[in-house]
């Protein structure tokens, strides 16, 4: 991921320097377990543990010749080990995937914990915003068309619960991805004792794979990336709502617009929803990683490395982009400007058409058939659309033509916008419990 969208904490998790730190940690833990078992000389542990991780530049220099990243790493690390002979026992009995998959599991768990903390923050921001606007009337829309009265807090509550589910889904995926294996070539433990795998798993707080055939099957990693894609899409849902509502014709919501900020190089009046558009664009990048990672599940026999090149790009990009999305969506929610007066004006913009369903229900009480009532109300509504005449007037005229008597006082009562949202209390009660 480019620097523009990489936040420092997550960027470090996926840096080469940190990767080699994890590789050193895994190799040292294996060496410790083997030394305790008497498999390797006990005096090799301290020199190896004290050797600083190799510089990424040095590993890259060696890899240019070896064309093998693990061998390049081991060679560069051995150069940092005093005495160098102690490094001869590093990687004893292991194969490359033992190191790579175990360190990757630790890396992805670390990245997940950063994401979960930010998801908690976003859930809280959405919850608090929804509760603040539990009485803010607005028009609900379906297909982009005015439907019935609603409250803004109801819409945001849906986002809050959706993000909470996304967070909980990622928590479960953390378990699926925190899986390691140190089982040697083709996973048969031919050159390494399973007790070593147990030791490393405990020390890294990871779970041993139930079985590995030199590589850990990529279903867990695929679940993790899928969870990120859903979380990114939940962020996009929030941003898309803002984008629609910041349009000039709607103007119910707007992003924060800072002092000195510019909206257009040509048109000084512009205040564009750039944060929301960026969120929508970045979410595509996260979703784009799902299929390539899933294609790493089927591999040739016990192992190939067709998954490797994909994961070097897909996993950091998915995590870094999701991290940025959570950060940016939280900023968006916390700085969101809600124009309550404009919401009310838009609620009334269709001259009462948003009460058509209530009128149908009321007229059905007269004993008329649903088909007749629907035809009457629809005819009145179409006249309001076409002639821009208040719905109550067209309804009154249409009812007179059909010999139907309207109870005006009753319609006044049932066509209040507050009536449509009076049963939402349970939603907000549940929302107050969301954490």
What pLDDT score does 288 carry? 98
Q: How confident is the model at residue 368 (pLDDT cuts 50, 70, 90)?
A: confident
What pLDDT score does 239 carry? 98
- Tens digits of residue pLDDT in 281-335: 999 999 999 999 999 999 999 989 999 999 999 999 999 999 999 999 999 999 9
CA distance 239 to 329: 7
What pLDDT score does 151 carry? 97
CA distance 414 to 434: 32
Statement: residue 402 has pLDDT above 70: yes
Q: How confident is the model at residue 367 (pLDDT cuts 50, 70, 90)?
A: confident
CB under 8 Å to 188, separation ≥6 — which residues?
none
Catalytic residue among 68, 96, 97, 143: 143
What pLDDT score does 127 carry? 98
Question: What are the residues facing 254 on neighbouring strands?
Answer: 337
Q: Residue 65: in which H helix or E strand, if any?
A: helix 56-66
Catalytic residue among 190, 264, 306, 361: 264
Q: Residue 338: in which H helix or E strand, if any?
A: strand 337-338
CB under 8 Å to 241, separation ≥6 — which residues?
155, 159, 253
What pLDDT score does 208 carry? 96
Statement: residue 266 has pLDDT above 80: no
Give catalytic status of residue 143 as yes or no: yes
What pLDDT score does 217 carry? 95
What pTM value is reported for the model? 0.93
Are the CB atoms for 342 and 251 separated by under 8 Å?
A: yes
What pLDDT score does 265 carry? 63
CA-angle at 53, arms to 51 and 56, nearest 5°: 150
CA distance 184 to 92: 10
Average pLDDT over the chain reads: 94
Q: How confident is the model at residue 1 (pLDDT cuts 50, 70, 90)?
A: confident
- Tens digits of residue pLDDT in 119-134: 999 999 999 999 999 9
Give residue 354's Cα distance to chain centre. Answer: 34
């Amino acid at each position: 991921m480019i620097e523009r969208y990489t936040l420092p904490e997550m960027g470090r998790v996926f840096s080469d320097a940190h990767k080699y730190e994890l590789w050193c940690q895994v190799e040292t833990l294996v060496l410790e377990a083997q030394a305790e078992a008497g498999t390797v000389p006990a005096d090799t542990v301290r020199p190896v543990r004290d050797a600083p991780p190799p510089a990424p530049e040095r590993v890259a220099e060696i890899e240019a010749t070896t064309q093998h990243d693990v061998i390049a790493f081991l060679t560069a690390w051995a150069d940092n080990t005093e005495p160098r002979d102690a490094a001869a026992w590093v990687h004893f009995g292991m194969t490359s995937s033992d190191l790579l998959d175990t360190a990757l599991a630790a890396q992805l768990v670390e990245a997940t914990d950063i994401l979960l903390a930010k998801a908690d923050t976003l859930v809280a921001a959405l919850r608090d915003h929804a509760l603040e606007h539990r009485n803010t009337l607005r028009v609900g829309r379906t297909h982009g068309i005015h439907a019935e009265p609603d409250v803004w807090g109801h819409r945001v509550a849906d986002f809050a619960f959706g993000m909470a589910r996304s967070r909980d889904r990622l928590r479960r995926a953390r378990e699926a991805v925190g899986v390691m294996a140190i089982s040697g070539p083709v996973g048969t433990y031919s050159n390494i004792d399973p007790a070593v795998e147990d030791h490393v798993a405990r020390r890294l707080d990871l779970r041993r794979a139930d079985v590995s055939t030199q590589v850990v099957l990529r279903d867990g990693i695929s679940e993790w990336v899928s969870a990120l894609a859903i979380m990114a899409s939940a962020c996009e849902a929030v941003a898309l709502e803002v984008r629609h509502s910041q349009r000039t014709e709607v103007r119910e919501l707007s992003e924060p617009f800072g002092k000195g900020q510019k909206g257009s190089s040509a048109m000084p009046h512009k205040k564009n929803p750039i944060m929301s558009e960026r969120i929508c664009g970045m979410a595509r990048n996260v979703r784009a990683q799902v299929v390539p990672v899933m294609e790493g599940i089927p591999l040739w026999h016990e192992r190939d490395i067709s998954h490797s090149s994909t994961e070097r790009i897909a996993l950091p990009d998915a995590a870094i982009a999701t991290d940025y999305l959570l950060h940016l969506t939280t900023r968006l929610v916390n700085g969101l400007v809600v124009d309550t007066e404009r919401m009310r004006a838009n609620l009334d913009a269709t001259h009462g058409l948003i009460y058509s369903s209530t009128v149908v229900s009321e007229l059905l009480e007269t004993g008329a058939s649903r088909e007749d009532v629907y035809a009457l109300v629809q005819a009145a509504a179409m006249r309001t659309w076409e002639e821009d005449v208040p719905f109550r007037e067209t309804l009154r005229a249409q009812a007179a033509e059909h010999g139907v008597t309207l109870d005006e006082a009753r319609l006044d009562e049932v066509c209040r916008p507050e009536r449509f949202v009076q049963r939402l209390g349970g939603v907000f009660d549940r929302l107050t419990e969301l954490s």
